[in-house]
Amino acid sequence: MDKSQDLVSLFGDMPDPRLDRKRLHDLGDIMAIAIMAVISGAESWVDMEEFGLAHHDWLHTFLSLPNGIPSHDTFNRVFSLIDPKEFEKRFVLWVEGISNKIRGHIAIDGKVIKGSGSKKKAKNPLWMVSAWAADSELILAHTSVADKSNEISAIPKILELLSIEGCVVSIDAMGCQKQVVDQIVSRHADYVLAVKGNQKNLHSELVHFFEQAEEAQFEYISHDWHKSYEEVRGREEERMLYVTGDIDWLPMRDEWQKLRSLLCVITNRTVEGVTSTTRRYYISSLSPDAQEHSKVVRNHWGIENKQHWILDVAFNEDKTTTRDRVAR
């Protein structure tokens, strides 16, 4: 079946919130045009209308278009009214269908939409939490939350939408929660989670352990390591990743389901002759393989360097002033 027809079928049976007398355009047509327009570079409701007008003859071969191409006001109004959960559920199904089921590494991270806030109205900007397929470079799902602290509640909802069996899920420190680990493991997936101050005791234990291990040059400690070097635009970065499966000493090891590895990533960054060092810590359900973990840790930032960067630079997302959490 033609993929464009799959798109129409999936979205055509969504609950339609419009009054019967105001349904001049089929909901499936509106959804299909909007999605194809955005994929083609549309950045606004007006762009969606212009995309439809420019491709009217082709669109008419598989869409009904009873009253021609919807106006930009129609796109805005419909996307403000529809149930975002129903839209997201169908969008995930469509993405999985065209990508032959997502496998490999899924990164989850949040991003603020700077232009959507209003100081005059004391309204905070939108925070979007997204799931990113690192291997195929696809956005799988996203949802809006009130602020950064609410990422915790959004992550389980996104995981519920996805088929993650056999995947590795990586999340920054905000997602380092026992209930998130339980959900990932129950869905037969693995995890690599950053650990920071929000898990104070766990973070302190990891810092102390790796500090002692470094001082002893990891003598008598079973471990693996991986070193990488990168030079980009005058910036030099040397990264050393240490991973160990020695977790019997960790007091809270049984609280984290399927925990198998502890990681420390040391980054030395040199810019204009000045070197700074940062240390990051992770827990993981994967075996203590340094090269595999290095790939996951590096690819996790694809959601920053590729998805977020493209949204800001190519789609000017940070400049959007749309504050409606559904229409956004």
Residues 258-272: tens digit of each pLDDT: 999 999 999 999 998
Same domain, 284 and 215: yes
Same domain, 32 and 169: no
Same domain, 62 and 133: no
Please determine, for residue 97, whether its predicted confidence score (pLDDT) is greater than 90. Answer: no
Q: Is the dihedral of CA 7, 136, 292, 253 positive or negative?
A: negative
Q: How confident is the model at residue 133 (pLDDT cuts 50, 70, 90)?
A: confident
Q: What is the pLDDT of residue 126?
A: 73
For residue 286, CA distances in Å to 173, 186, 230, 283, 289 come to 18, 15, 25, 9, 8
Residue 57 included in any domain: yes
pTM value surpassing 0.85: no
Q: What is the pLDDT of residue 185?
A: 98
Q: How confident is the model at residue 189 (pLDDT cuts 50, 70, 90)?
A: very high
Domain boundary among 50, 82, 114: 82
Residue 166 included in any domain: yes
What whole-number distance in Å separates Cα of residue 131 and Cα of residue 123? 25
Please determine, for residue 155, whether its predicted confidence score (pLDDT) is greater than 70. Answer: yes
- Closest by CA position to 96, among listed 188, 5, 7: 7
Q: What is the pLDDT of residue 176?
A: 95
Residue 38 included in any domain: yes
Structural domain including 148 reads: 105-313
Same domain, 125 and 192: yes
Q: What is the pLDDT of residue 2?
A: 45
Q: In this predicted structure, which of 45-54, 113-122, 150-159, 283-292 has the lowest mean pLDDT?
A: 113-122
Q: What is the pLDDT of residue 205?
A: 98
Q: What is the pLDDT of residue 120?
A: 61
Q: What is the pLDDT of residue 321?
A: 53
- Number of structural domains (the chain) is 2
User: Which one has a higher pLDDT value, 203 or 9?
Assistant: 203
What whole-number distance in Å separates Cα of residue 287 and Cα of residue 293? 9
Q: How confident is the model at residue 322 (pLDDT cuts 50, 70, 90)?
A: low
For range 205-231, the mean pLDDT: 94
* Mean per-residue pLDDT of the chain: 84
Same domain, 172 and 278: yes
Residue 98 included in any domain: no
Residue 95 included in any domain: no
